[in-house]
Structure 1
Amino acid sequence: MAFTTPLPMPMLSEPIYRRDFQKRDGRWLQLYGLKPHDLPPLHEDDFAVAKGGELRYHPLRREWNVYAPHRQNRTFKPSAADDPLAPTRPNAAATEIPFADFELAVFENKFTNFHHEAPPTQDVVGVPSATAKGQCDVVVYTPDAIGNLYSVGQARRKLLLAAWVDRYNYHFAHGADFVLPFESRGEPVGVTLHHPHGQIYAFPNVPNVQANMQQSFEAGYDLAHEVETWSEYDVTRAGGIRAVCPPYARFPFEVWLVPETPVRGPWDFTPEQAEGFAHLLGDITRRYDAHFEGPTAYMLTLHAAPRSAKDWQFTAQFYPLLRAPGRIKYLASVEQGTGMFTVDVMPESAASILKAL
């Protein structure tokens, strides 16, 4: 299938194109680009595709968790020659992307937690369960095997933003209650594929963290107003987006990207906000790597409004897993057993250090 007409992205001045391609195993692949993609598909394998797990309710923590035992067999630290996120090469093993080149790619994860055809749940006495309907996408930032959100450049970061917005629209239109784009970077976080990439989970429910955020916003908590008073927690700003280490951060050197004029999600960005947000995604990555003296293991999550939310203020949140160069911040017994984090660096000190970089 050829590229569609340019996607409607009013927050970006550049036209964005998307090519939809159905793989032999039935999964869909989207190729996003600043120019139309018209390369012919190459050979494909018949991958075995799981169709999600199941949800079970934890009555003491009052939360749903997903069980997906098939993920035990997911790809684990392949060699460079077996990189499943690379472009497919002639006379080489097929990868997840059956084209010789691309700009940015999104496809359905074959080791998925959620699936639109999730299997029926098992009966467990006294434990509520539910089908794990939804979808899990893999987002491949670049055809290059090495890179990060800073090195890929501003044009690629804006393309990533366009892909995120397009996938938000798709998943909400197909019944998702909450959509979470995220990136896990580095082996200390559990990354098993080093090719620059992120993921998107389309949830069939609103997880507890976001449900609590929704209650706070709907009760009147004004994050944008609070951030105006956090001058000593400022790291930097660009295009109407502020990067801050919140005074209630749970991770050492945690950074939030907060629009000064609130929006529900990145789909509501102005062109200035989109430019600033894309810049800061790279700039915070650069500052982390400079401070921690090498590629920094972190988790990045985008917190946009759930489908049911009336009042909401979008943030993107970086959680680095280091407390100093070469020193991992472990989430150990206290954090896991109580949910109360012990933080080794004061947020105002972290902001001062990152700001100086």
Structure 2
Amino acid sequence: MTDHTELLDTPVSGAVHKRSFAKADGRMLYLYGRTPHALPPQAQDTDDIATGGELRFHPLRGEWNIYAAHRQDRTFKPAAADDPLAPTKPGRPNTEIPFADFELAIFENKFSGLHPQAPQPKVLDGVDSMAAIGACDVIVYTPGAAGSMHTIGQDRREVLIAAWIDRYAALFHQGCDYVLPFENRGDEVGATLHHPHGQIYGFGTVPQVQKTAIDAFARGYDLAAEIAAAMPDYGLAEAGNIAAWCPRFARFPYEVWIAPQQRRAGPWELSAQEISGFATLLGGVTRRYDAFFGRATPYMFALHSAPRTGGAHYHFSAQFYPLLRARDRVKYLASVEQHTGVFTVDVMPESAAETLRAV
């Protein structure tokens, strides 16, 4: 169907509706909200859409990396009047969301590095390569041009979690082996659009970092026991059997994790109470960061969940990696970090926990 509305079957408390709309250029747009979305579409662009890049294997690091030259032409810090993530208003420039209003929107990325119809790569002697099969979504948290995970409010955060769960199911069904919802916030992280938003990558193969975590859980690593041990001194808050804390093994100054206190494979296994607690802590951590640093804190955020198959022992977590070690000091990933993977941490986790807890 090119335009279809349904009520989601989701553990989130209260109704969450989803409208699936095929855009004029062929990409899908999904509108999520507490009320059914029924506005008529506005004018739309019909530009050519990239169908992904290619993957090449790094033999010394064991990694498959994405090569997508077309992403050089993606939208870069547009003027406020040209915000591509805003609603399309009559008489204004066309945007990615051809409706005059919405609650929360997800659409297929126009500059996708991973795509279900990714082309076969050229053959290079001595280099393993394959098509970059997968998916790339953009999540728009709010129609407003400003805001944060905190300021969108508890109800919108619960709708966001419902949308994440829905896209996990869809991308796993599509054949993606690993799904990573994430957010890049701030200039220091490299965010090219300031409108509050995140993304979702659906990978055709499980990334190396996640393979390592899957193996650790399979060998018996117990994150629930670590949370219980850490919370007295490293904890920030608890809500609905969900904990927020600074990991004792954090690599970034002021790094914070949020996770259920009992093992859950992903957000799709959370109860309504746990989802409410998760939403509360997502907003609370973002608020603490902005209050402590006195500014919109740049960070890298992602959900770490089980893969499509083979993650029976995985324990889901949401991880914040802030890019500041003080208000005016960026935590750069320099030579040692990039070349070895060994981080130099400037702020002790116990100090970070005490400081953030006091905010």
TM-score range, shorter chain: over 0.9
- Counterparts of residues 10-49 of structure 1 (less than 5 Å): 11-49=11-49
Asked whether 1:215 is paired with 2:215, we answer yes
Q: Report the secondary structure of 1:302's partner residue.
A: strand
Deviation, structure 1 residue 92: 1.4
Q: Is the 8 A contact 2:140 2:196 kept in 1?
A: yes
Deviation, structure 1 residue 252: 0.3
- Counterparts of residues 173-322 of structure 1 (less than 5 Å): 173-230=173-230, 231-308=232-309, 309-322=311-324
Q: Is the 8 A contact 1:3 1:37 kept in 2?
A: no
After superposition, give the CA deviation of every residue in 1:43-101 in whole Å (9 maximum; x if it has no partner). 00112211101000000111110100000000000000000000001111110000000
TM-score for the superposition, normalised by structure 1: 0.99
Deviation, structure 1 residue 273: 0.5
Q: Distance in 2 between matches of 1:5 and 1:127?
A: 46
- Counterparts of residues 43-62 of structure 1 (less than 5 Å): 43-62=43-62
Q: Report the secondary structure of 2:100's partner residue.
A: coil
Deviation, structure 1 residue 307: 1.1
Deviation, structure 1 residue 270: 0.8
Q: Report the secondary structure of 2:7's partner residue.
A: coil
Amino acid at match of 2:254: F
Q: Distance in 2 between matches of 1:17 and 1:8?
A: 9
Deviation, structure 1 residue 29: 0.3
What is the match of residue 333 of structure 1? Answer: 335
Q: Is the 8 A contact 1:29 1:108 kept in 2?
A: yes
Name stretches of at least 5 consecutive residues in structure 2 with no aligned partner: none
After superposition, give the CA deviation of every residue in 1:278-316 in whole Å (9 maximum; x if it has no partner). 011110000000111110000111001001212110000
- Counterparts of residues 116-131 of structure 1 (less than 5 Å): 116-131=116-131
After superposition, give the CA deviation of every residue in 1:230-253 in whole Å (9 maximum; x if it has no partner). 121111111111111101101000
What is the match of residue 347 of structure 2? Answer: 345
* Greater displacement, 116-125 / 156-165: 116-125
Q: Distance in 1 between matches of 2:91 and 2:6?
A: 33
Amino acid at match of 2:333: L
Q: Distance in 2 between matches of 1:76 and 1:12?
A: 35
After superposition, give the CA deviation of every residue in 1:23-49 in whole Å (9 maximum; x if it has no partner). 111000000010011000010011221
Deviation, structure 1 residue 2: 5.4
Q: Is the 8 A contact 1:3 1:38 kept in 2?
A: no
Matched residue count? 356
What is the match of residue 5 of structure 2? Answer: 4
Deviation, structure 1 residue 227: 1.2
Q: Distance in 2 between matches of 1:108 and 1:45?
A: 14
Deviation, structure 1 residue 3: 4.8
Q: Is the 8 A contact 2:4 2:21 kept in 1?
A: no
Amino acid at match of 1:338: T
Q: Is the 8 A contact 2:27 2:108 kept in 1?
A: yes
Q: Distance in 1 between matches of 2:146 and 2:5?
A: 29
What is the match of residue 148 of structure 1? Answer: 148
What is the match of residue 80 of structure 1? Answer: 80
Amino acid at match of 1:255: V
Amino acid at match of 2:273: E
Measured at CA, do residues 212 and 101 of structure 1 come closer, stay the same or move farther in structure 2, by a change above 3 Å?
same
Q: Distance in 2 between matches of 1:5 and 1:83?
A: 29
Q: Distance in 2 between matches of 1:48 and 1:347?
A: 47
TM-score for the superposition, normalised by structure 2: 0.98
Q: Is the 8 A contact 1:3 1:36 kept in 2?
A: no
What is the match of residue 355 of structure 1? Answer: 357
Amino acid at match of 1:89: K
Q: Distance in 2 between matches of 1:240 and 1:3?
A: 36
Amino acid at match of 2:242: I
Q: Distance in 2 between matches of 1:51 and 1:296?
A: 33
After superposition, give the CA deviation of every residue in 1:195-226 in whole Å (9 maximum; x if it has no partner). 00000000000001110000000101110111
Q: Distance in 2 between matches of 1:346 and 1:291?
A: 16
Amino acid at match of 1:65: N
Name stretches of at least 5 consecutive residues in structure 1 with no aligned partner: none
Q: Report the secondary structure of 1:229's partner residue.
A: helix
Q: Distance in 2 between matches of 1:157 and 1:188?
A: 24
What is the match of residue 101 of structure 1? Answer: 101
Q: Report the secondary structure of 1:70's partner residue.
A: helix
Amino acid at match of 1:240: N
Deviation, structure 1 residue 346: 0.2
